[in-house]
Amino acid sequence: MPSPYFIAVDPSPFKLRMFFGRRQEIRAISNYLLNGDSVLLIGERRMGKTFLLYHVMFSGTNRAE
Q: What digits encode the pLDDT tens for the residues 3-53?
A: 665 555 566 666 666 667 788 888 899 899 999 999 999 988 878 888 888
Residue 1 lies in a domain: no
Q: Is residue 33 part of a domain?
A: yes
Residue numbers of the domain that contains 43:
21-58
Alpha-carbon torsion (48, 51, 57, 58), positive or negative: negative
pLDDT of res. 26: 86
Query: Burial, 53: exposed, middle or buried (Cβ in 10 Å; 0-12, 13-18, 19+)?
Result: middle
Domain-embedded: residue 27: yes
Residue 58, Cα to own-chain centre: how many angstroms? 9
Greatest Cα-to-Cα distance within the chain, rounded to the nearest angstrom: 42
44 within a domain of the structure (yes/no): yes
- Asked, for residue 37, whether it belongs to a domain, the answer is yes
Q: How far apart are CA 34 and CA 32, in angstroms?
A: 6
Residue 64 lies in a domain: no
Number of domains the chain is built from: 1
| Residue 16 within any structural domain of the chain | no
